Amino acid sequence: MKIMKRALPLLAVLLAGPVLWAASPERYLHVRVTNPTTHEQVRVNVPLSLAEKVIPAINHGQLRDGKVRIGGFTADNVNVKAILEALKTAPEGEFVTVEQNDSDVHVAKEHGQLLVHVIDKGSKEKVDVTIPWDVAQALISDTSENQLNVEAAIRALQNAGDVTLVSVISHDESVRVWIDSNRSDK
Amino acid sequence: MIILAKIGVGVMGAVLVGGAALSSEGFIHLKVDEKQVDGHHISLIVPAALVPVTLKFVPRQHLAEAAENLRANMAIIDAALPALEQCPDGVFVEVIDPGEHVVIAKSGGSIIVDVNDPGETVHVAVPLRAAESAIHEIAAANQPM
């Protein structure tokens, strides 16, 4: 009986091991580009753990030490970091609505996510961007004014739920970028 | 008779150890099937452990350009290959085109590239560990002192 009592915790640990292992599956960044006219399709499935290790090693162009320089944005007088800092404390709701003859732009904070919807009326192109708030904050963490911290954002994405980050639908092509725990996008 | 038996056991042991050493890093598999009627069909299976050894005998000047390109990206390669080894198996990239199908995947510790186009089908499987040692061997070629 004593042996049984001693063996039970061991058995519990052995049984819990695979369950805990299964509880933290690999997360994947998926990209799918589809062209219905030419029937071309590109599918990319990147394990986030791989991206997290490789991105800091890339020192090329605007990407250095896991951070990307966004000089173009500041040159256009749009400081992404300052905007995200301001949005951090703002209440949930729609922040920006720009309705023009050629396009509509909506920026909102909803359910802990930063949402951007753009509709180009001319080309009928529709762009939806969803950034979980933790990821948005990670993007501006430990950066100078014109940088975004890609490495930190990837780390934050590991803990984000399954979400479609970017969706672009136009008459000749559709693009979807999303996160989940499936190793393929099928 | 006993001496012969001992020699036999020794030879068998050497063959087994040699075989185990050769297959320790897996096998590189290259298969090319040309779709023309008189097309070539090539299938090569090479012990991956041979590649770094073979590279030592390649004249350094033939590896100079590849070495230079690799050295510029060694930090990325050194970060990517161990991370790739730890990744679960799966398809990383798939390109489907009306005339072509390309798949880059990881399976059983190997990186696999499959190309199927109107002219031929190509299958390449390279064990990651072998790739790592081969890449380091090439990068070390013509290294400035």
> Can you read off the two tokens belonging to residue A127?
């762009």
Q: Of the spans A29-43, A137-151, B61-75, B124-138, which averages the highest pLDDT?
A: A29-43
pTM value surpassing 0.80: no
- Which one of B87, B95, B98 has the shortest CB-CB distance to A47? B87
Task: Determine contact: B83 vs chain A, CB below 8 A.
Answer: yes
Q: Within 10 A of A93 (CB to CB), how many other CB atoms are there?
A: 8
Q: Do B86 and A49 touch (CB under 8 A)?
A: yes
Helix (H) or strand (E) holding B106: strand B100-107
B 60-79 residues with CB < 8 A to A = 75-76, 78-79
Task: Determine contact: A36 vs chain B, CB below 8 A.
Answer: no
Give whole-number Cα distances, A174 to A114, A124, A184, in Å: 21, 12, 18
Residue A20: pLDDT above 50? Answer: no
CA distance A147 to B25: 42
In this structure, what are the phi and psi dihedrals at residue B68, rounded to the nearest 5 degrees?
Answer: -65, -45
Q: Length of chain A in residues, anyone?
A: 186
Percent pLDDT > 70 in chain A is 80
Task: Determine contact: A89 vs chain B, CB below 8 A.
Answer: no
3-state DSSP assignment of residue B101: strand
What b-and-e string marks burial along B33-57, b requiring 16 or more CB atoms within 10 Å of the CB? Answer: eeeeeeeeeeeeeebbbebbeebee
Most B-contacting residue of A32, A50, A58, A180 (CB-CB within 10 A), to test interface: A50
> Can you read off the two tokens belonging to residue B20?
């185990």
Residue A165: pLDDT above 90? Answer: yes
Which chain A residues touch B96 with a CB distance below 8 Å? 39-43
Cβ pairs bridging A and B (under 8 Å): 64
CA distance A149 to A55: 10
Task: Determine contact: B90 vs chain A, CB below 8 A.
Answer: yes
B 96-125 residues with CB < 8 A to A = 96-98
- Which one of B75, B83, B93 has the shortest CB-CB distance to A44? B93
**pLDDT tens digit string along A60-93?**
888 888 888 876 554 455 666 677 777 777 788 8
CA B83, B86, B88: angle at the middle one, nearest 5?
120
Q: What is the mean pLDDT of residues A102-129?
A: 89
Helix (H) or strand (E) holding B46: strand B41-47
Residue B28: pLDDT above 70? Answer: yes
Q: Do residues A152 and A48 touch, judged by C-beta distance below 8 A? A: no
pLDDT band, residue A19 (cuts 50/70/90): very low
> Can you read off the two tokens belonging to residue B26?
């897996």
Percent pLDDT > 90 in chain A is 32
Residue B14: pLDDT above 50? Answer: yes
Q: Length of chain B in residues, anyone?
A: 145
Average pLDDT, rounded, for chain B:
86
Residue A130: pLDDT above 90? Answer: yes
Rounded to a whole number of angstroms, the distance from the CA of A10 to the nearest CA of chain B is 28
